[in-house]
Amino acid sequence: MSSPLNDIQFILHDVLDYRSHYAALGLDNTVDRDLLNMIMDEAHKFASSELQPINAAGDAGCTLQDGQVTTPPGFKEAYRKYIEGGWAGLCGEPRFGGQGMPETFGFLLEEICCTANMAWTMYPGLSRGCIAALAEHGSEEQKARFLPKLLTGEWTGTMCLTEPHAGSDVGLARTRAETAADGSYRISGTKIFISAGEHDMSDNIVHLVLARTPDAPAGTRGISMFVVPKFNDDGSRNALACGNIEEKMGIHGNATCELVFDQAVGHLVGEENKGMRYMFTMMNAARLAVGLQGISVAQAAFNRASEYAGERLQMRSLSGPKLPDQPADPILCHPDVRRLLLTQRAIIEGGRALVYYVAQLVEITSHTTDEQQQQQAQLQLDFLTPIAKALLTELGFESANHAVQVFGGHGFIRETGVEQFVRDLRITLLYEGTTGIQALDLVGRKMLGNQGAGLQAFGQMMLAVADECDADFAEFAGTLRQLHQDWGEISMNIGAKAMQDPEEVGAASVDYLFYSGYAVLAVFWAKIALAGARHDNAEYGSSKVDIARFYFARMLPRAEAHRQALESGAANLMQVNGLAFSA
């Protein structure tokens, strides 16, 4: 099983009304509901027939020999069909060969493919980030040179940030860029953890590399961005090589490379010393994509677990036999198995609504001509991005673990395939900024840094949803209003404490992110319940209302535990005897 199209379409059409969203931005001249559904249906067919069957085999991993990486069996062939289907250029600019579809189409494609095969989907996923950065910051010559091949998929792209001594602290990077006589640069240094950094699926790989020019200032202010192709225009191999592919916990089908640049030919993107700002074009999109990975793989794990729960016969129902002619009842009848499955469902569908909403905000900031609407969308986008990335990966990982639990001992062995989902998903809590880094960004920059403007912008939506709930879901309405009030008070209290002790920001940040995340999901589950109540299919709509009530009753209370933890202050972390940290 792959992505459930009915649930995706429910969020798109009934919960978030994408048709009106496109119309408001003037994008409906090329997009309608039938086209959107048709594209999703074709993407589902491709993912189900080409990607899902090679997911388990891909877990055997890539191989490196003489500097060349070979991807697992079937990966290269699936990518060829991806190119033939025109998927690589779905959202690109038509003047460079793209099809000009809205950016959100890329999110839909990403989810459907990632649910089928996360490791494979990372190859074209990295290309989309590279395309976005070059389209926004590259010169016209660079766009004409690189975008057409990237949009056909003949070439793929990467982002090269991390170095052995510099992980999340990119300002420590040492990779050098020296000016050459022809105006290009020579790039030297080592980058690690480069996803899709070397492989056999495309004719060329376009690397976006962060490096320093000789007179660059220290820290992130001295970082520049360079485009460094694997092959130069004359067909010669550039002076870069894959020194190693990492032996990883998961996503074995994706080559995670150490890349060594030794006077490689590179071309400056934009201006010197502005590379970090340019890279965030990729990073912000990548963070949303990683949050979507959390939901996508959780969906794949849920698919397996729900099917197994309906088939596996173990023990009798506490209320009496459900299948008296069988030796035992399906484990689906047991309350705790239902708790595990409903938790997964609440995470997946609430998370899907969140990330699709954030994708709408991205399009609004890019296309609206209303200055106030653009400003409000940007405030929400900045505020929700770290929440979407961190929360959905953390909860997605929890969901995959629940799938293993549903399978019991059978989930721990490779034959059933669910343990792969756990291993594959674990990286999402780390790359593109760990949960702790996202939390610091949320509290330090997105909340305290702009006096809570992003929270206020989202809070207006929260209260509007509460008003909608008054008639049919009064219990949701009251809860949302109380959350809104408490959220504001918690935020102000953190700010007041931080003025006395800056360590209070770091001490509260992760719990604040989770509190915020559960509050955000409550808003979307209220919207899902409203849409479910008016759905044409009463049985389908009722199931959404049931899951919403489960979320409010059994998952939202987690927010209170995070509130109590963050309000306990920094002392229980920072004033601990040093021996507590000794092995």
- To the nearest 10°, the Cα dihedral for 286, 69, 66, 233? -60
Whether the Cβ atoms of residue 289 and residue 428 lie closer than 8 Å to each other: no
Location of structure tokens 């900031």: 365
DSSP character at residue 448: I
Q: What are 266's two structure tokens? A: 């590179």
Whole-angstrom Cα Rg for the chain: 24
Tell me the β-bridge partners of 109: none
Q: How far apart are CA 548 and CA 524, in angstroms?
A: 9
DSSP string, 90-155: TTS-GGGT-----HHHHHHHHHHHHHH-HHHHHHHHHHHHHHHHHHHHS-HHHHHHHHHHHHHTSE
Q: Which two tokens stand for residue 243?
A: 């020194």
**Residue 207, phi then psi, degrees to nearest 5:** -95, 130
In angstroms, what CA-CA distances link 95 with 105, 204, 497?
A: 19, 21, 53
Contacts of 370 (CB under 8 A, 6+ apart): none
How far is Cα 457 from Cα 77, in angstroms, rounded to an integer?
Answer: 46
Other Cβ atoms within 10 Å of 454 Cβ, number? 24
Contact criterion met (CB below 8 Å) for 304 and 417: yes
With CA atoms as reference, report the closest residue to 278 among 180, 230, 218, 211.
Answer: 211
User: Does residue 301 contact residue 3 with C-beta atoms inside 8 Å?
Assistant: no
Cα 148 from Cα 168, distance rounded (Å): 32
Per DSSP, what are the bridge partners of residue 245? 257
Q: Which residues are catalytic?
A: 432
- The total number of residues shown for the chain amounts to 583
* 175: its two tokens: 């990779």
Nearest one of 109, 91, 126 to 47, comparing CA atoms: 109
Sequence letter at residue 342 = L
Dig out the tokens for 569 from the structure.
């202050």
Phi–psi pair at 166, nearest 5 degrees: -135, 100
DSSP letters of 450-483?
A: TTTHHHHHHHHHHHHHHHHHTTT-HHHHHHHHHH
User: Which amino acid belongs to residue 393?
Assistant: T
Q: How far apart are CA 194 and CA 156, in angstroms?
A: 13
> Which is it for strands 204-211 and 155-160: parallel, antiparallel or unpaired?
parallel
Rounded to an integer, what distance in angstroms lies between the CA atom of residue 435 and that of residue 402?
20
